[in-house]
Amino acid sequence: MLTVDFSRFPLAPGDRVLDLGCGAGRHAFECYRRGAQVVALDQNAEEIREVAKWFAAMKEAGEAPEGATATAMEGDALALPFPDESFDVVIISEVMEHIPDDKGVLAEMVRVLKPGGRIAVTVPRYGPEKVCWTLSDAYHEVEGGHIRIYKADELLEKIREAGLEPYGTHHAHALHSPYWWLKCAFGVDNDKALPVRAYHKLLVWDIMKKPLATRVAEQALNPLIGKSFVAYATKPHLPRLSGTGADAQ
């Protein structure tokens, strides 16, 4: 289940991609399939081990084209172990809402992104997330849980302040919002409640089968109750200074 829309966020074979806070690796795997040179980074050692196993399995199964590479590694989003301007693409999906110093994370992403490079940021959308917080304290008051809810304008302003230029936004996963509302209403750890179990079966069926009816429904509902807000931006090239280089001739 991808949150980033790669039709709006083009990826070329050979692009060097950082999936920051990769979690279970869903976006890293898609980038690998598309021929990128992928680094999946997360602070969770257990998840990184699983991602590395999946990368190896994908290579063995021939799912990645020739020239694609994939590395999974532990790391700190506030102190990335990469030189300046190392990546063509950076993805950070459903991570920034967990991190107190979100401006610091944006600064690190900008540092390692090449001029002209692209970045995709996804966070829980304000409205659906606010419902979850209202229904359940346990939803967010946990170690490593969500510490803030972004409004779209607030996130875009932080992206601009970091030196990036936003070029597009959208919402995703509308069908998942009611599921989390049910989870919050019946207890976030209560997977046995009938409404929660029934809706979960619907989501699994939708993910596996991708029926036209639910695809159309989600597209229609995304602007209203999409669970995630997605923003795309580029890192501008530095302007040439007059009186230097060719301009000085």
Provide the CATH number for the domain around residue 130.
3.40.50.150
Percentage, residues of the chain above pLDDT 90: 91
Q: What is the mean pLDDT of the segment spanning 62-85?
A: 97
Residue 94 lies in a domain: yes
Residue 245 has pLDDT above 60, yes or no: no
d(CA 87, CA 92): 13
Residue 183 lies in a domain: no
Quick: pLDDT tens for 96-123. Answer: 999 999 999 999 999 999 999 999 999 9
Residue 220 lies in a domain: no
Residue 92 has pLDDT above 70, yes or no: yes
Quick: pLDDT tens for 54-72. Answer: 999 999 999 999 999 999 9
pLDDT of 9 reads 97
Residue 117 lies in a domain: yes
Domain containing residue 125: 75-172+226-233
Residue 14 lies in a domain: no
pTM of the shown model: 0.92
pLDDT of 246 reads 39
Q: What is the mean pLDDT of the segment spanning 206-215?
A: 94
pLDDT of 241 reads 52
Confidence of residue 240 (pLDDT cuts 50, 70, 90): low
Which residue type occupies 132? C
Pairing mode of beta strands 87-93, 165-172: unpaired
Number of domains making up the chain: 1
Q: What are phi and psi of 211, to 5 degrees?
A: -70, 150
Comparing 137-151, 194-208, 224-238, the range with the smallest average pLDDT is 137-151
Residue 86 lies in a domain: yes
Residue 111 lies in a domain: yes
Residue 133 lies in a domain: yes
Report helix, strand and coil shares of the chain as percent, to nearest 5: 40, 20, 35
